[in-house]
Amino acid sequence: MIETLKISVTGQGLFAFTDKVHSLVDRSGIQEGLCTLFIQHTSASLLIQENYDPSAQHDLENWLNRLVPERDPLYTHTLEGDDDMPAHIKSALTATSLSIPIFDKRLTLGTWQGIYLWEHRRAPGERRIVVHLGN
């Protein structure tokens, strides 16, 4: 089963979509298998992260922004704005796909784990994530 999720973003940050993936797994009827997620963009990424304390997400965002600053004089790809090249670098340093086992009709995420789209651009928009569920 392959589905495409559309996730609306309001700018930089982590956007949880675990519930949408759980719904797809429930609808699929798969008892055991693998859930593969792939984001179809080069300036955003996917992440499994703590879903209990939002300060963990905030700290991750601050750390990555410090590691990959905007307006670095080394950047030559600047036509799309100050946040574009850093967004591509952040995407390259993180993940564009995730694999999560399915067991007993459920994702095998840990108690405090959630699935996030990590938006690296400042502009609001919509991102597409392809979800493949298979045995």
The phi and psi torsions of 70 (rounded to 5 degrees) equal -80, 160
Residue/partner pairs of 67-76 with CB below 8 Å, 24 or more apart: 67/93, 68/93
Fold of 2-134: Jelly Rolls (2.60.120)
Task: Return the closest-CA partner of residue 35 out of 101, 96, 117.
Answer: 101
Residue 6 CB coordination number (10 Å): 10
**pLDDT averaged over every residue in the chain:** 96
pLDDT greater than 90 at residue 135:
no
Give pLDDT tens digits for 103-133: 999 999 999 999 999 999 999 999 999 999 9
Give domain limits for the chain. Answer: 2-134
Give pLDDT tens digits for 40-95: 999 999 999 999 999 999 999 999 999 999 999 999 999 999 999 999 999 999 99
Give pLDDT tens digits for 6-24: 999 999 999 999 999 999 9
Q: pTM of the full predicted structure?
A: 0.94
* Segments in the chain forming alpha helices (H): 18-28, 54-67, 84-93
79 in Cβ contact with 7 (< 8 Å) = no
Q: CA–CA separation, 4 vs 84, rounded Å? A: 24
